[in-house]
Structure 1
């Protein structure tokens, strides 16, 4: 297991190096002039040239990338072109909101997805199965921005049960939980539908296994058969989907943060791209990529505890 972690750490370094190169290259060839964004419409050409020289934008591509990579390895992600704020500080301020939203959405997805998949599999070909399958199809098909707008219209505007947006209260307070409900449902619905479909297929496969039939023939309680013999052995593909979806949720909160006016990393990234704020874009993407790889490493470790037959030695 230690060998696996060390190996993945090396893979993480190479992956982040490749991602940093791709992101830096994309921003380098993207249309638009950061100097013009900084100086504003009234700037003269001499003003723009002075800004480019000060930021090192006149240097060749490899020189700029080498300087950026060297600073990044020292923990210096640079400063925002627009606000002059440290990139690390700007991300640190907003990341808790994104993390809270991703965790809340994942809880919604796991609870709804596993329960729906389990009921659908146990009541195979019944009206409950058809309803659950329809929910899964609808959950994957409905766009986040539309679902978020509908939830706001119903529960915030008409019924006034929940706040319209924002995420500025501690999550452990009543108001903080209220602020999380609508965005968590909006973001977690598609993941819940995907988990439900995978859980249904996996449980249907496991429930026909010989050891499940043997457990029932020996008179084991149906509750034990379902929760111990069936669900546990069906969780490997489900955990894979959960891990991948959590990584996607950390980097895919952009639309939800926009709809619910949440000051998170996704919204920061979109605004930075629009303003050609290269350091903010690069820092945000590196953070999301790192978290995605770490989550997948955690999933690989969890495998060995769920199924002792899995070994990475």
Structure 2
């Protein structure tokens, strides 16, 4: 286990270096000159050249990347071209909103997805199974921006029982929870659909296994069979889906944050891309990529506790 964690952490470092290079290259290849944007439309060419020199944008591409990589390895993500604020500080201010939204969304996804998937498997070919299938297809197909707009129209504008947007109250307060409901449902619906489909197929496979039939033959209560024997084994592939979806939610809050006016990392990234704020974009992407890989590492560790037969030492 320890050797696996060390190996994966080493792979994490190599992966993040590769991601940082791709993001750095794509930002520099994108149309638009950050120096010209900073200087403004009335700036002279000499003013633009001076800004390039002060930011190091006049150096060769590989030299710029090497300087950036050295700073990142020292914990320095640089400073915003637009606000002159430290990238680390800007992300630290916005990240709690993104994290709270992702956690609330995955909770919604797990509750809805597991309940729908398990009921669908136990009531195979019933109207509940059909409803779960339709829900799954709809949840995967409906765009977040459309679903978010409809929820705002119904619950915030017409019924006026939930706030339109924003996430400025602490999440543990009543106001904070109310602000999280609509964006969490918007973001978590797609993940709930995937969890429902996976839990259904996994549960169907498990309840047809020999040991489940043996337990029924011995007269074990059905609730014990499902809760003790079937659930634990059925959850192994579902854990993978939950882990991958949570990592995706951390990086996929961009549209939801825009719809609900949430000041998170996703919205920060959109603003930085529009203004060609290279350090802010690169820092945000590195954070999301790091969290995604760490979530997958945690899922691998959970695997061992759920199923001791799994070993990563070989």
Normalised TM-score (structure 2): 0.99
Aligned equivalent of 1:180: 180
Alignment partner of 1:68 is 2:56 = no
Counterpart residue number, 1:56: 56
What is the CA deviation profile of residues 214-244 of structure 1, one whole-angstrom value per residue up to 9, with x for unaligned ones?
Answer: 1111111111101111111011110000000
Match of 1:218 in 2: 218
SS, match of residue 232 in structure 1: helix
Report the alpha carbon displacement of residue 159 of structure 1 after superposing the two structures with TM: 0.3
5 Å-filtered alignment, 1:77-92, equals 77-92=77-92
Q: State the distance in 1 between where 2:305 and 2:212 align.
A: 21
Q: Which residue number in structure 2 is paired with residue 264 of structure 1? A: 264
Task: Name the counterpart of 1:140.
Answer: 140
Q: How far apart, CA to CA, are the structure 2 residues paired with 1:218 and 1:267?
A: 57
Point out where structure 1 has 5 or more consecutive residues left out of the alignment.
Answer: none
Q: What's the RMSD between the two structures over aligned residues?
A: 0.5
Equivalent runs, 1:103-122 vs 2, <5 Å: 103-122=103-122
Q: Aligned runs of 1:1-313 on 2, under 5 Å?
A: 1-313=1-313
Distance 2:221 2:301 in 1: 31
Aligned-pair distance for 1:140?
0.3
Distance 1:102 1:8 in 2: 24
Q: Once the two structures are superposed, what CA deviation does each residue of 1:65-90 show, in whole Å capped at 9, x if it has no partner?
A: 01000111111110000000000000
Following TM superposition, by how much is the alpha carbon of 1:45 offset from its aligned partner in structure 2, in angstroms?
1.0
1:40 deviation in Å? 1.2
Q: Distance in 1 between matches of 2:68 and 2:279?
A: 9
Distance 1:75 1:238 in 2: 35
Distance 1:302 1:65 in 2: 36
**CA distance in 1: counterparts of 2:215 and 2:182, whole angstroms:** 42
Distance, in Å, in 1 between the alignment partners of 2:227 and 2:195 is: 17
Q: CA deviation at 1:62?
A: 0.8
String of CA shifts for 1:35-60, please: whole Å, max 9, x gaps. 11111111111111110011111100
Task: Return the alpha-carbon distance in structure 2 between the equivalents of residues 93 and 221 of structure 1.
Answer: 51
The structure 1 segments of at least 4 consecutive aligned residues displaced by more than 2 Å after TM superposition are none
Determine the C-alpha separation between the residues in 2 that align with 1:292 and 1:35: 32
1:283 CA drift (Å): 0.3
Number of equivalent positions: 313
Q: Determine the C-alpha separation between the residues in 1 that align with 2:37 and 2:92.
A: 24
1:127-160 deviation digits (Å, cap 9, x = unpaired): 1100010000000000000000000000000000
